[in-house]
Amino acid sequence: MPRNAEQPIRIRFEQTLYPHWGGLSGYVQFVRYLNPERYRTVTHVASDNDEDLPRWLNPVRPWLRQFIRRGQMPWYKLSDLNAELSAAADCLGRRQDIVHFLDGEHSGQFLPGILRLAGLSGIRTVATFHQPPSVLRDVLNPLILRRFDQIVLVSPSQLSYFRQHVAGDRLHVILHGVDTAFFRPATTQPAAPIRCITVGHWLRDWEVLRAVACRMPSITFDIVTNRDIALDGLPNLRQHRNIDDAALAELYRSADILFLPLIESTANNALLEGIASGLPVVATDIEAVRAYLPGGEGILVAGNRPEGFVKALGRLQEDSALRARMGRCARARAEALGWPRLVAQYESLYEAALARPPVSWRRSDP
């Protein structure tokens, strides 16, 4: 039965949760800003492990591990299978109009096929992907991409990969957002000495950070990560582990510069939280970073050259007026990327997904 266009759109969000993510950081935050009069939402969270499976399936756990490996998605775990089975039950009960996989590298391997076999192609599937092409090639089976009705990317740098496998009218670049009310600038200037903050671990260039910190002993480097990054022994480097959201926001506000030497990137929570905190940025010059920092928000260094970073940091260290000016530009850019402003793009995406015919793919596709 066709859905009544006047009824609220029911969306189930599937999220894969990493333990280091904060409660006010990350991609899932946009869900809170959807118009509650138009959208009825539920968010199901799967842990990133192979233990999140109903006990009654324990006897076949080894077989299920072998089965999911056939999908050639190495990040897909039994927790993701459990999430898809739960979503399938929800859809078979006709309680949803859209299922949005928020972490497509981890999920969405089976549900589109289940919906097709059950004659429920009226339920649309959407997936968001976060990794750069160099990672996507190793973690995705491109044939599975054909089954999603719509695909969301968080950086234009991902388009080169997806255009090889998916029609362009199913691809949507929607930049990542940030909570600009929680992550906000300090009301007073941080005290000397100059402090840089680096947050996260994924695709960070720790060797370059060490080289820069060694050359700039007058700058304090605050590193927020729970990972072992082998940067012990530097007196001007402090690592912060297991801090909560409030402590993280305060660290941003107490810093002078956001320093992000990156190997690769698409969207970056630390970048967004840093600029929302009014910090000028010194980061690696790559396409994804330029998409998020198109103006005077930071100094970008090509090729991760330590001497380039040293020069950029030294310039900001010596020029407080420049730091203040770039910090204001950074905050303005963050406000443009605040979730309340970005959420309209998701609402348009969902409306369009339901208005269009379901995607067509062959049953013979794996």
* pLDDT tens by residue, 49-84: 777 777 888 888 888 888 888 888 999 999 999 999
**What SS3 class is residue 24?**
coil
Residues 202-261: tens digit of each pLDDT: 999 999 999 999 999 999 999 999 988 888 889 999 999 999 999 999 999 999 999 999
Q: How far is Cα 325 from Cα 298, in angstroms, rounded to an integer?
A: 10
| Positions in the chain short of pLDDT 70 | 1-5, 19-21, 362-366
Looking up tokens 């443009």, which residue turns up? Answer: 336
Phi-psi region of 237 (alpha: psi -120 to 50; beta: other; left: phi over 0): beta
In this structure, are residues 166 and 193 in contact, taking their beta carbons and an 8 Å threshold? no
Closest CA to 273 of 320, 342, 331, 196: 331
Task: Confirm if 292 and 233 have CB atoms less than 8 A apart.
Answer: no
Reported as type and span, the H/E element at residue 15 is: strand 9-17
Domains within the chain, CATH numbers bracketed:
9-177+339-355 (3.40.50.2000), 195-336 (3.40.50.2000)
Taking the model in full, what pTM does it have?
Answer: 0.94
**Angle, alpha carbons 280-287-151 (nearest 5°):** 115
Place of tokens 């660290």: 251
Residues 6 or more apart whose Cβ sits within 8 Å of residue 123: 91, 96, 97, 98, 99, 115
From residue 9, how far is each of 6, 96, 166, 230, 348 by CA, in Å?
Answer: 9, 8, 25, 48, 12
